[in-house]
Structure 1
Amino acid sequence: MDNSIKKKLEEFYENQLGYVDSNGKKLRRGITTGTVATAVSKAGALYFLEQKELKSIELTLYDGKNIQVLLERYEIKKDEVTVYSRKYAGDDIDATNLALIYVKVNKRNDKNINITGGKGVGVVTRKGLDANIGQSAINSKPKENIIREIKSITDIGFDIEICVENGEEIAKKTFNERLGIIGGISIIGTTGIVEPMSVEAMKSSISKEIKVKVQNSDNIVLAFGNMGEKALNLMGISSEKICICSNYIGYALEQIVTYNHIKKVLIAGNFGKAVKLAGGIFNTHSHIADAKNEIIVANLALMKAPYELLNLVINSNTTRQVNEYIKEYGFEKVYDILAQKASQKCEISIKNQFKTYVLMFDYDNNKLNDLTNIDDFK
């Protein structure tokens, strides 16, 4: 990507979108794919009225605020106008940042506005999303905004085909495939603005994935990350049943509680994260809480482990070291105890609405504790 393009976008959007303060650091806001799609759709429709190629176009966001969206270029054919613009994510961690989004706009003989997805926009293949199976992954809010913006300037009807350059490749870096969206990215956005808070973005992805995965089962599997998912796959558990929850186990459990038919939840992944659950820590990010050694030592002490082992564990820098010491001293039973306590803490947190089970792996994806009902989740 040409750095001059990135710099141009930053200069254009910084002043009007402003910043979010995150622990004293200024983080730039951005715009959603839905906002970009709305801008190029409106610009294309406006060209049929005024035959002008604009440098930017004004939109009214869902909260009533107006913003200018930068346009990149036009392609004019006899009966079709194509307008290009780029997604700008600010300082948010976003695979779609700087993606080139364009729409092909054609006049209709009626007053309807028909919005479809073209090349680079994903197709929905599973229930639970904001579009039906077989439809393009264009959420209802962006569709509403496109229609509203066009209707604000004309009663003419248009066919709007939204496309994304290299959308299929970009989608591989997103959660889309996990959600059941194939072939491209999604055109999304509730407020129209990207708040550079990766925590909120992650939680949103977790919620969406859970909504999809609970559709046809009374149990669900939470994995901390890709390594945990891989270990579960090797045990015969399909990715179709697995949701990646990262550090946000508590949040994921809160979301699952809203689905009354769920009876069992398996939480699986790296020992270093799983052990925190035994201490009632449901956000496992090390910046939030990092008491894993203390939790392990407390439980080893209750097993009457020797002081030498307790001292080694409390002073260990990694859980890999901890595992080596536990095995050296023959106290592997602590894994079952910790997993059981983690399950109990999880069930207390969700008021025993469903049963939870915890499965812990080492860094080589070896199972550390026993789980007799693993087949229930296959």
Structure 2
Amino acid sequence: MHPGRSGDFQSRSLSEVKSSLRCGFTTGAAASAAGVAAYLRSRRGEIPAVVELCFPDGRRRAIATNWRGGAEFAVVKDGGDDPDVTDKALILAKYLPVSAAALGPHDYLLEIGRAHLILRGGDGVGLCRRPGLDCAENHWAINPGPRKMLAANLARIGFGETPEWGLLTITVPEGGRLAQRTLNPRLGIVGGISILGTSGIVYPYSHKAYVKTIMVLVRALALAGGERLVLTTGGRTLRAAAERLPELDESCFVRIGDFIYDSLRAAQAQGLTQVVIACMPGKLCKYAAAYHNTHAANVDQTLAPLVEAFLAVGGDAATAAKLAACPAVRQALELIPAARLEACLGRLVERALGVLRDWFPTLHLRLLLFDFEGRLLLDRGSS
């Protein structure tokens, strides 16, 4: 089965190794569940204790909701085992019928069938104040994945069948405090947390358990006679790599998160010498900086390799100084002139491949670099 068409691939792989850790759901899934419940209350008078959501992988999962009065519901975000800072945070959604005049300058307008939904961030939801993030500048930090998930699930229960305008406000009472423990202040997201989630699912993130899972999957591929291993940093890179490499079975693809060193070590230990790495520019910069574990809790986002690559391909000192001052790679890439971008990224890829080859000289490495939307930027090396 082609992994690009199998959204539950990684969740199946995790279950196959019988991990004892429990998955959770993202802030985006929590907001979607609360939003669906709020709409059901407003339009049908229902007070659902549980909402069944359709997730991006096509599966349906139940999330408990709590009625707060009126058309407002709360969901307690459950991060599963080894949760992040938003675990047990209260995510609230309130629905109101409105007119088009209610649309504010920071709001999103979702067109769902024949209806329009104004999506707004309330207290504790961040506001993007810089360009280059997943959310547009001066808009609420509600990422595209949660917006799509919310729209799809509202459509499932009838929103959009008739013309109407609604306002859904997402609030996180503790969001302002929680945001101080995230990267949001550095990224230019002010006032609260981001509503996140590509898959809607939070996978257990214990270092030991995650690496053990990777090792089991790599060993299984080797025992099955597989010759090429594809290490992907997340769901988007997995899907993009699968589209790029349609000849490979889904068992060849392993999602590694931040554990690049441990994953390559597992490949070497199992005698798999042909390895493809699929990543985005942020991870690439950390590979070039020789970080074994790229998680933000362990290392800061370093832009030094990107700045050095830019200067090496003839970039000017003034722009280099601006790159060095950027809070994240995404913003920095927007400052690089288009005429130098490919050469700069190419230099960065070669530096990263050099680091990885120094670690594991016996591996034949190929690196697929994708942009933040999953489009291929560069394909270098050989596997």
With normalisation by structure 1, the TM-score equals 0.51
Q: Are 1:173 and 2:178 counterparts?
A: no
1:28 is aligned to 22
Q: Which residue of 1 aligns with 2:128?
A: 124
Greater CA radius of gyration, 1 or 2? 1
Aligned residue number for residue 326 of structure 1: none
Name which of 176, 191, 194 aligns with 2:199: 191
Amino acid at match of 2:78: Y
Q: CA deviation at 1:33?
A: 0.9
State the shift of 1:278 in Å. 9.3
Query: Which residue number corresponds to residue 280 of structure 1?
Result: 358
2:87 to 82, 97, 100: 97
Q: Which amino acid aligns with 1:240?
A: C
- Distance, in Å, in 2 between the alignment partners of 1:122 and 1:147 is 20
Q: Kindly provide the CA deviation profile for residues 230-274 of structure 1, in whole angstroms up to 9, marking residues without a partner as x.
A: 9999xx99663677xxxxxxxxxxxxxx96434776xxxxxxxxx
Matches within 5 A, 1:70-81: 70-76=64-70, 81=71
Q: Per the alignment, do residues 171 and 203 of structure 1 end up closer, same or farther by CA in structure 2, a change over 3 Å counting? A: farther
Who is 1:58 aligned against? Answer: 52
Structure 2 unpaired stretches of 5+? 1-10, 101-114, 211-232, 235-255, 261-278, 305-320, 330-340, 349-353, 370-383
SS in 2 for 1:28: coil
Counterpart in the other structure of 1:210: 282
Q: Deviations over 1:311-334 (max 9, x none)?
A: xxxxxxxxxxxxxxxxxxxxxxxx
Deviation at 1:108, TM superposition (A): 2.2
Query: Which one of the candidate residues 61, 64, 77 is aligned to 1:67?
Result: 61
How far the C-alpha of 1:134 sits from its partner, in A, is 0.7
Letter in structure 2 aligned against 1:98: K
Matches within 5 A, 1:329-340: none
Deviation at 1:175? 2.6
Residue among 130, 133, 140 paired with 1:136: 140
Report runs of 4+ in structure 1 exceeding 6 Å deviation: 204-209, 220-228, 230-233, 348-351
Is residue 41 from structure 1 mapped to residue 35 from structure 2 by the alignment? yes
* Residues 1:102 and 1:95: Cα distance change in structure 2 (over 3 Å): same
CA contact (8 A) 1:83 1:102 kept: yes
Sort the Cα spacing of 1:102 and 1:204 in 2 relative to 1 into closer, same or farther, 3 A. Answer: farther
Can you give the 5+ residue segments of structure 1 that lack an aligned partner in the other structure?
1-16, 214-219, 244-257, 266-275, 283-344, 354-378
User: What is the SS of the residue equivalent to 1:280?
Assistant: helix
1:57 Cα deviation from its structure 2 partner: 1.2
How far has the Cα of 1:174 moved from its partner?
2.1
- CA RMSD in angstroms, aligned pairs only: 4.5
User: For residues 294-333 of structure 1, what are the structure 2 equivalents within 5 Å?
Assistant: none
Change over 3 Å in CA distance of 1:51–1:147 after alignment to 2: same
- Matching residue of 1:364: none
Listed one character per residue, the Cα deviations across residues 205-226 of structure 1 (whole Å, up to 9, x for unaligned) are: 9977839x9xxxxxx9787778
The residue matched to 2:53 in structure 1 has which SS? strand
Q: Deviations over 1:134-167 (max 9, x none)?
A: 1111111211222222233233431011111211
Conserved? CA contact 1:21–1:27, under 8 Å = no
Write the deviation string for residues 173-219 of structure 1: whole angstroms up to 9, x where unpaired: 223234332221111112211122466679489977839x9xxxxxx
The answer to whether the 8 Å contact 2:42/2:95 transfers is no
- Alpha-carbon distance in structure 2 between the residues aligned to 1:178 and 1:350: 32
Partner of 1:187: helix, strand, or coil? coil
Rounded to whole Å, the distance in 2 between the matches of 1:185 and 1:210 is 20
Q: TM-score, normalised by structure 2?
A: 0.51
Maintained 8 Å contact 1:30/1:89: yes
Q: What is residue 326 of structure 2 aligned with on the other side?
A: 240
1:26 is paired with a residue of what secondary structure? coil
Q: 344, 348, 370: which is aligned to 1:261?
A: 344
Percent sequence identity is: 27
Residue of 140, 146, 153 corresponding to 1:149:
153
> What is residue 74 of structure 2 aligned with on the other side?
84
Deviations 1:28-57 (CA, angstroms, capped at 9, x unpaired): 011111111111111111111222322111
- Kindly provide the amino acid, as one letter, of the partner of residue 104 in structure 1: K
Letter in 2 for 1:51: G
Matched-pair contact (CA < 8 Å) for 1:178–1:209: no
Equivalent pairs, count = 241
Indicate how the Cα distance of structure 1 residues 229 and 185 shifts in structure 2: closer, same or farther if over 3 A, else same. closer
Shift in alpha-carbon separation, 1:89–1:158, aligned structure 2, 3 A? same
Is 1:129–1:208's contact at 8 Å kept on the other side of the alignment? no
